Structure 1
Amino acid sequence: MQQIAFLLYPGFQIMSLAAVSVFEFTNLELGRKAYDITYISEAGGPLRTSLGMSIETEPFGDPAFDTLIVVGAPNLVLPKPGESAFIRAALGGSRRLASICTGAFFLAEAGILDGRRATTHWCLAHEMKARYPKIRVEEDRIFIIDGSVWTSAGMTAGIDLALAMVEKDHGIVVARSVARMLVVYHRRSGGQSQFSALLELEPKSDRIQKALDFARGNLKSQLSVEELAEAAHLSPRQFSRAFRAETGQSPAKAVENLRLEAARLMMEQSRHPIDVVADETGFAGRERMRRAFLRAFGQPPQAIRRNAQQEMQI
């Protein structure tokens, strides 16, 4: 039986504990208690969440767990000296050390993330970069595995992190079954963006949404303004004006973002050659796709694939 400890502190965000359900349903799926869950804090006793409800915790003791997970908060909270010391001790005594959302700042303050790749909630990623220059912060990631240290983005990304742990411990079949029971996607890859190109656009009219749906379903096509305008049943001039007014982007920029999103997913989750990925997602050759990746992600397609493969092997 593996012991999973969640490190809590006053004002933590209850959404972080959504990851607990992943381990709970894994026990149900396996028909045995594969995971034993405990909640710990420096002093122990009841701790109030950011919403005011209380969770009973045990005081710090032996830091040797299978997995220690530091939860997040709705705002930036830094650890007390005792918490940092406990986290440092846990790194040597536990198989895995992890954080959800802003819990990454606890690991950072303890020095655990120095020289490592890490992520956190996108709205605080720049703060993490500024505070901890020794950390390779990758703000556009769902979760990152660097050796025995796992960090995830904010909110529901903790579920993806926990599913990845279950997959590593018990295999992909069990993890998929747990995801189905939780009615969640199995599972967003660690390298997947915290953002969705379509969600960022948020068009206000059905016509512009129809054009975006057409674009996403026809990325191999040229997707000229004329094609998109026809899908929206507008003239090219009307379409261009309405598109920018509703999304804040030009049609060309929006199409490139959709292509980037699709290409990145293919690089992470398939073994297709780069030329094939470029063709399937509408880039005019691998060099054009490479330049687009460098602008958007700061890495070439090969690095995106290599990072995803390394995470799956850990």
Structure 2
Amino acid sequence: MTHRVAVFVRDGALPMEIGIVHRIFGQAGPGLYEVLTCTVTPGPVRTDADFSINVEHGPELLETADTVVVPASKPDDEARPMTPEIAAALARIRPGVRIASVCTGAFTLAAAGLLDGRRATTHWRSADRFRALFPQVLLDPDVLYTEDGGILTSAGVASGIDLCLHMVRSDHGAAVANEVARGTVVPPHRDGGQAQFVRRPVPEPAVSSTGRAREWALANLHRPVSLRELAARESTSTRTFTRRFRDEMGTSPGRWLSRQRIERARALLEETDLPVDDVAERAGFGTAASLRLHLQTELGVSPTAYRRTFRAERV
């Protein structure tokens, strides 16, 4: 059955965030998603730009949604995140429906009580205000996105892309999400735990200082890859390489390498009939037991269960 995604917009909506949801889910493939936009009162909705958008659907659409996405609204998110009309609209969402926010849309979810006791994030500039308003929420302002009990939140606008790709990947596997990413010309995966903002004492270099090492690592995932080898590819010390890598990628070389191995294993499980032992070897985990441990830690499933779910969908 087609999965219905309802984008709930409010006055002051950010057009780019609305477009992200339509773009990512809309490219996932025929029949996978239906993306519709709704608002409290159908008709023109003011944006934060010099134009309005016409929204045809009212809040009743939320009653039929499988996923609800709440983009940011400026400036009302922080000043007035909830009104009786918005509260009544959100009350229409069925129990168990996946709910997500982009950027300061998290203020609305928190004001509705949906984030109480849950881990969440929002734009780093709004973190102090968020904490003051919603101390009951476990705010983590240093990540790209979070997922806690079917409620997802993301940081700034670009991390909304990461969040939507994460949901597509969770629904239909890495191969579908990667194809969407290729069509959108964005990285196929940025781990939610990556830092959303890194202060740098100097401007970002025009040319990546770790790109050759990353390219070499991806070509050699099947074998052990040491930090010393990565640093040697850039003719630098391991300490300097690690610092530069964190500045450019927002995570450590080891964590990045582990993510690439997981993604390679997922693709092989989805797209081939290779035995799990061979998948583990080609992805650089060495043994099926090691692959099983990493996949269970990252995704909560075994390689066999993952293949059963996503390989069957693609055959």
Using structure 1 for the length normalisation, give the TM-score: 0.67
Q: Which residue of 1 aligns with 2:13?
A: 12
Q: Which residue of 2 aligns with 1:97?
A: 99
CA distance in 1, matches of 2:177, 2:8: 24
Partner of 1:201, secondary structure, is coil
CA distance in 1, matches of 2:259, 2:8: 32
Q: Which residue of 2 aligns with 1:231?
A: none
Preserved contact between residue 69 and residue 99 of structure 1 (Cα < 8 Å): yes
Preserved contact between residue 141 and residue 192 of structure 1 (Cα < 8 Å): yes
Q: Which residue of 2 aligns with 1:166?
A: 168
Distance 1:222 1:106, change over 3 A: closer
Preserved contact between residue 63 and residue 86 of structure 1 (Cα < 8 Å): no
Preserved contact between residue 8 and residue 40 of structure 1 (Cα < 8 Å): yes
Distance 1:267 1:123, change over 3 A: farther
Q: Could you tell me which amino acid in structure 2 is paired with residue 82 of structure 1?
A: E
Q: Could you tell me which amino acid in structure 2 is paired with residue 72 of structure 1?
A: A
Distance 1:311 1:87, change over 3 A: farther
Q: Which residue of 2 aligns with 1:71?
A: 71
Q: Which residue of 2 aligns with 1:265?
A: 255
Aligned pairs for 1:266-281 (under 5 A) are 266=256, 269=259
CA distance in 2, matches of 1:172, 1:149: 21
Q: Determine whether 1:81 maps to 2:92.
A: no
Displacement, 1:264? 7.1
Q: Which residue of 1 aligns with 2:141?
A: 139
Preserved contact between residue 84 and residue 106 of structure 1 (Cα < 8 Å): no
Preserved contact between residue 3 and residue 35 of structure 1 (Cα < 8 Å): yes
Count of aligned pairs: 244
Distance 1:109 1:264, change over 3 A: farther
CA distance in 2, matches of 1:66, 1:203: 43
Partner of 1:156, secondary structure, is helix
Displacement, 1:171? 1.1
Partner of 1:43, secondary structure, is coil
Preserved contact between residue 118 and residue 135 of structure 1 (Cα < 8 Å): yes
Displacement, 1:191? 1.0
CA distance in 2, matches of 1:191, 1:123: 18
Q: Which residue of 2 aligns with 1:45?
A: 43
Displacement, 1:222? 4.9
Distance 1:143 1:309, change over 3 A: farther
Preserved contact between residue 198 and residue 250 of structure 2 (Cα < 8 Å): no
Q: Could you tell me which amino acid in structure 2 is paired with residue 201 of structure 1?
A: P
Displacement, 1:152? 0.6
CA RMSD in angstroms, aligned pairs only: 3.6
Displacement, 1:202? 3.2
Distance 1:204 1:114, change over 3 A: closer
Aligned pairs for 1:112-127 (under 5 A) are 112-127=114-129
Q: Could you tell me which amino acid in structure 2 is paired with residue 194 of structure 1?
A: Q
Displacement, 1:107? 0.3
CA distance in 2, matches of 1:116, 1:142: 16
1:24-58 CA distance string (max 9 Å, x none): 111xxx3x222111111111112121113222221
Note the residue ranges of structure 1 that are not aligned, 5 or more in a row. 229-251, 273-305
Aligned pairs for 1:234-249 (under 5 A) are none
Q: Could you tell me which amino acid in structure 1 is paired with residue 68 of structure 2?
A: L
Displacement, 1:204? 8.7
Q: Which residue of 2 aligns with 1:129?
A: 131
Q: Determine whether 1:60 maps to 2:59.
A: yes
Q: Determine whether 1:150 maps to 2:152.
A: yes
CA distance in 2, matches of 1:124, 1:309: 34
More deviation, 113-122/34-43: 34-43
Preserved contact between residue 245 and residue 252 of structure 2 (Cα < 8 Å): no
1:53-104 CA distance string (max 9 Å, x none): 2222211115241000001134352121221233244262x52011000100
1:122-144 CA distance string (max 9 Å, x none): 11012111211111101011110
CA distance in 2, matches of 1:68, 1:175: 19
Q: Could you tell me which amino acid in structure 2 is paired with residue 265 of structure 1?
A: R
Distance 1:201 1:38, change over 3 A: same
Displacement, 1:180? 0.4
Distance 1:257 1:166, change over 3 A: closer
Larger radius of gyration: 1
Q: Identity over aligned residues, as a percent?
A: 31
CA distance in 2, matches of 1:50, 1:222: 44
Using structure 2 for the length normalisation, give the TM-score: 0.66
Q: Determine whether 1:35 maps to 2:37.
A: no
Q: Could you tell me which amino acid in structure 1 is paired with residue 104 of structure 2?
A: T
